[in-house]
Structure 1
């Protein structure tokens, strides 16, 4: 994922995931949009997964994604959160974390991630 992103001038600072999702800390350039970056990352990684035969079925990411901005002062905390996905998800599901995050920071949850 990181190698293909670099070829497209996308800087992935940190990446990790769990069984059904992936977290990326991405630094956007002034000419990049979250939508275009996500399209490239998802497309390139899906292609690689399918070409590598990692699944017995055609792998596809869901259309949706969840993105928030992060201040420089919080980057280390976000890296640590991403690094510890397995620990987090032994305690609560991704949807539970999204609900909690939305409640704490006042974000509207537009859809259920598992849909």
Structure 2
């Protein structure tokens, strides 16, 4: 082929380190805009972003030559700096070290988009811990429970 045509989709999840100083509803939309800007500046596409006070879900449409780990590291580093610079939490804000990402096919996008969009509804029934372990299990990812959270 003369050109490369592709779109690779990832559902990424990462969480706040200190749950006492999480993402507050008064500034979460601004945070999500900031994160979206970081991802766009890396030539990737944010399909949807949402979360809860203790974690964030991202659906990213990516081109094949990008590095997801580098992108998530940049998002977490720069967004935590932004939160701290603007004094949005009482104590220093930090993200947990790791993250998870799951690849998706095009046909899965509507279902995952709805899932991310309706985080508040899902978390009335299930905690983040329960949700996260379910994702790991559904994707057959081996883990040691002592090192998940």
TM superposition score category, shorter chain reference:
0.7 to 0.9
Task: Indicate conservation of the 8 Å contact 1:10/1:37, yes or no.
Answer: no
Which consecutive unaligned segments of at least 5 residues does structure 1 have?
none
Structural mapping, 1:1-115, within 5 Å: 1-111=35-145, 113=148, 115=149
SS of the residue corresponding to residue 95 of structure 2 reads coil
Inter-partner Cα distance in structure 2 for 1:54 and 1:41: 17
Paired positions, count: 114
Deviation string, structure 1 residues 33-77 (Cα, Å, up to 9, x no partner): 111111111112111111221111111111110110011000011
TM-score of the pair, normalised by structure 2: 0.69
In angstroms, what is the RMSD of aligned CA positions?
1.7
Q: Which has the larger radius of gyration?
A: 2
Bigger mean CA offset, 102-111 vs 41-50 = 102-111
Inter-partner Cα distance in structure 1 for 2:83 and 2:136: 31
Structure number with higher relative contact order (C-alpha < 8 Å, ≥ 6 residues apart): 2
